[in-house]
């Protein structure tokens, strides 16, 4: 059992391991052999995998290592489709697959693997803790600025396969360059977001968050479409001093509308920096990602099945608890009509004041509906509104299908009668006369009952050539 040095604020797991082999005298191959049963394991700097083995040998908590000392939470948040797989690969010892799950290779960010550090943080850490170390927040791909100081990060390229090297810690530097303000803002946003992600379970999907704030800033049409031109105009203005030109992470031009559309696609996989840049512009503060978004705001938008399910479950919970329709409607933002329907579908009896729709009336409606009566007639006979009749019919399984069938048969009888009546009164007519005189019935039968029509129509005349 090994005892790793205590994690310093925002310290990377690899940094702790480097400090451990530096001060303990245990060699990296000995450490890897004990942890993984092989000394040929290559540890990734910010997506270090094999956490359960490391946690076991070093008596640490796997979840804590995963959430606070690697960049896994950030990747999981921006790549929800790959999140489960990525977490699994990080916990088990599967570095190559974990890296593939992070999708970094496919983003073509063009950056080689390395460790980044801020000269001002190094100075601060040496003064405060007596040692410099690698920060998690500095390792975010695409971010080249310190989120605390705004200074440009130094890059140490990792050329060796083995990254667990004694004394591989950031060195003090005197050359300090400050980055453009926009890059500092993104770095600051990223650092905040990372610490928030580590400390809590996120509830909101990033695409939902974007839509919410786009709507608040009037970037959505009443139909829920994004005003991409206006968005790109403002967004491009905001990032115009950005020094990066890599199209994997910044828009190519102001007309690069796909940049925005892709970020709003719930299943999309994009470089995390794209999200961080766009999020900085739209949200300003990382804490906004976690604020409670009222569900009512999404009523105009394309709801995913999961969201719809969540809302209907919430409604059912209120209704089952005996809450009134008005209360449930206020809490969930759904209409009374919707609530009545799901209550009927789930057999929940509603405690409504005006009790017109008693079981007796419902039974009468169903009987009449089964016999094929028109909705208006049923409503008149039962003394209820036409809406209540429609609702009762649609909530009884099989009734709609039965009525559709009745309607079809009724139309067929009617159209057949029209044709037969015409043929009876015009025995000399030819096919074309029937088609012209009874065109509606003719075409209905032609589409729905062709065999019968062919049988009843006069025999087709042979076409005569032109003289």
Min dist CB 158 to Zn ion, Å, is 21
Binding mask 16-35 for Zn ion (x = CB under 5 A): --------------------
Identify which of residues 149 and 403 has a Cβ nearer to Zn ion in the complex.
149
Residues 43-82 that bind Zn ion (CB under 5 A): none
Min dist CB 2 to Zn ion, Å, is 30
- Is residue 373 involved in binding Zn ion (CB under 5 A)? no
> In Å, how far are 186, 188, 215, 244, 297 from 255, measured between CA atoms?
22, 27, 21, 18, 28
Identify which of residues 76 and 286 has a Cβ nearer to Zn ion in the complex.
286
Considering CB under 5 A, how many residues would be counted as binding Zn ion?
6
CA–CA separation, 143 and 123 (whole Å): 20
Task: Return the structure tokens found at 20.
Answer: 């451990």
Min dist CB 280 to Zn ion, Å, is 18
Angle CA(339)–CA(341)–CA(345) in degrees, nearest 5? 120
Cross-strand bridge partners of residue 49: none
Q: Would the CA dihedral through 165, 170, 173, 175 be positive or negative? A: positive
Whether the Cβ atoms of residue 149 and residue 187 lie closer than 8 Å to each other: no
- What is the phi/psi pair of residue 15, to 5°? -65, -40
Residues 314-333 that bind Zn ion (CB under 5 A): none
Min dist CB 129 to Zn ion, Å, is 14
Identify which of residues 50 and 147 has a Cβ nearer to Zn ion in the complex.
147
Min dist CB 130 to Zn ion, Å, is 17
Helix, strand, or coil (residue 396):
coil
The piece of 10-18, 22-30, 74-82, 143-151 that touches Zn ion (CB under 5 A) is 143-151
The residue count for the chain: 467
How many beta carbons lie within 10 A of that of residue 226, not counting itself?
20
Identify which of residues 19 and 149 has a Cβ nearer to Zn ion in the complex.
149
Identify which of residues 179 and 395 has a Cβ nearer to Zn ion in the complex.
179
Min dist CB 68 to Zn ion, Å, is 19
- Is residue 378 involved in binding Zn ion (CB under 5 A)? no
Residues 172-191 that bind Zn ion (CB under 5 A): none
CA–CA separation, 23 and 5 (whole Å): 9
Binding test (CB under 5 A) with Zn ion, winner from 46, 99, 148, 235: 148
Min dist CB 156 to Zn ion, Å, is 15
Identify which of residues 51 and 140 has a Cβ nearer to Zn ion in the complex.
140
Task: Return the structure tokens found at 360.
Answer: 């007796």
CA–CA separation, 327 and 116 (whole Å): 54
Identify which of residues 102 and 188 has a Cβ nearer to Zn ion in the complex.
188
Identify which of residues 58 and 136 has a Cβ nearer to Zn ion in the complex.
136
Largest CA distance in the chain: 111
CA–CA separation, 302 and 281 (whole Å): 24
Residues 101-140 that bind Zn ion (CB under 5 A): 118, 120-121
- Is residue 149 involved in binding Zn ion (CB under 5 A)? yes
> Cβ neighbours of residue 84 under 8 Å, at least 6 residues apart?
none
The piece of 102-110, 149-157, 190-198, 199-207 that touches Zn ion (CB under 5 A) is 149-157
Identify which of residues 140 and 325 has a Cβ nearer to Zn ion in the complex.
140
Min dist CB 148 to Zn ion, Å, is 4
What is the distance of C-alpha 198 from the center of its chain? 20
Min dist CB 94 to Zn ion, Å, is 33
Binding mask 244-263 for Zn ion (x = CB under 5 A): --------------------
> Which H helix or E strand runs over 269?
none
Identify which of residues 173 and 256 has a Cβ nearer to Zn ion in the complex.
173
Binding test (CB under 5 A) with Zn ion, winner from 18, 104, 146, 276: 146
- For residue 174, give the nearest of 127, 120, 131 by alpha carbon: 120
Min dist CB 167 to Zn ion, Å, is 21
Helix, strand, or coil (residue 178):
strand
Identify which of residues 110 and 130 has a Cβ nearer to Zn ion in the complex.
130
Identify which of residues 125 and 208 has a Cβ nearer to Zn ion in the complex.
125
CA–CA separation, 255 and 377 (whole Å): 58
The piece of 44-52, 144-152, 340-348, 427-435 that touches Zn ion (CB under 5 A) is 144-152
Task: Return the structure tokens found at 128.
Answer: 């405060």
- For residue 277, give the nearest of 190, 147, 154 by alpha carbon: 190
Whether the Cβ atoms of residue 121 and residue 137 lie closer than 8 Å to each other: no
Min dist CB 135 to Zn ion, Å, is 8
CA–CA separation, 393 and 403 (whole Å): 9
Min dist CB 101 to Zn ion, Å, is 30
CA–CA separation, 279 and 288 (whole Å): 10
Which positions lie near Zn ion, rule CB under 5 A? Answer: 118, 120-121, 146, 148-149
């Amino acid at each position: 059992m090994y005892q790793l040095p205590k994690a310093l604020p925002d310290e990377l797991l690899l940094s702790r391991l480097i400090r451990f082999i530096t001060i303990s005298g245990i060699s990296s191959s000995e450490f890897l052999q004990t942890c993984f049963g092989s000394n040929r394991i290559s540890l990734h700097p910010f997506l270090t995998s094999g956490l359960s083995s490391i946690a076991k040998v070093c008596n640490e908590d796997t979840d804590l290592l995963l959430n606070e000392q690697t960049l896994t939470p950030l990747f999981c948040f921006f790549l929800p489709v790959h999140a489960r797989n990525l977490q699994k690969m990080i916990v088990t010892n599967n570095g190559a697959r974990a890296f593939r799950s992070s999708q970094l290779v496919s983003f073509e960010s063009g950056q080689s693997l390395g460790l980044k550090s801020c000269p001002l943080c190094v100075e601060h850490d040496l003064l405060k803790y007596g040692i410099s170390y690698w920060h998690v927040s500095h390792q975010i791909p695409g971010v080249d600025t310190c989120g605390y100081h705004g200074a440009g990060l130094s890059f140490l390229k990792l050329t060796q396969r083995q990254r667990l090297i004694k004394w591989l810690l950031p060195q003090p530097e005197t050359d300090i360059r400050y980055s453009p303000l926009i890059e500092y803002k993104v770095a600051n946003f990223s650092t905040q977001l990372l610490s928030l992600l580590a400390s809590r379970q996120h509830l909101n999907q990033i695409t939902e968050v974007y839509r919410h704030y786009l709507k608040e800033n009037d970037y959505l049409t009443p139909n829920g479409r994004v005003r991409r031109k206006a968005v790109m105009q403002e967004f491009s203005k905001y990032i115009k001093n950005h020094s990066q030109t890599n199209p994997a992470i910044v828009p190519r031009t102001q007309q690069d509308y796909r940049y925005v559309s892709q970020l709003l696609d719930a299943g999309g996989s994009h470089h995390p920096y794209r999200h961080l840049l766009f999020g900085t512009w739209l949200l300003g503060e990382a804490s906004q990602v976690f604020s409670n978004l009222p569900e009512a705001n999404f009523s105009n938008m394309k709801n995913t099945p999961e969201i719809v399910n969540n809302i209907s479950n919430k409604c059912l919970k209120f209704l089952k608890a005996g809450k009134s329709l008005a209360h449930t409607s206020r809490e969930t933002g759904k209409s009374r009509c919707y609530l009545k329907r799901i209550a009927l579908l789930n057999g929940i009896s509603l405690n409504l004041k005006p009790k017109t729709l008693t079981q007796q009336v419902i039974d009468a409606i169903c009987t009449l509906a089964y016999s094929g009566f028109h909705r208006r007639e049923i409503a008149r006979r039962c003394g209820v509104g036409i809406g209540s009749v429609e609702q009762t019919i649609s909530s009884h399984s099989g009734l709609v299908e039965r009525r559709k069938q009745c309607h079809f048969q009724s139309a067929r009888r009617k159209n057949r009668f029209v044709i037969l009546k015409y043929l009876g009164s015009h025995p000399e007519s030819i096919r074309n006369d029937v088609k012209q005189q009874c065109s509606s019935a003719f075409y209905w039968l032609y589409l729905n009952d062709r065999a019968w029509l062919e049988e009843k129509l006069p025999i087709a005349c042979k076409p005569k050539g032109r003289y």
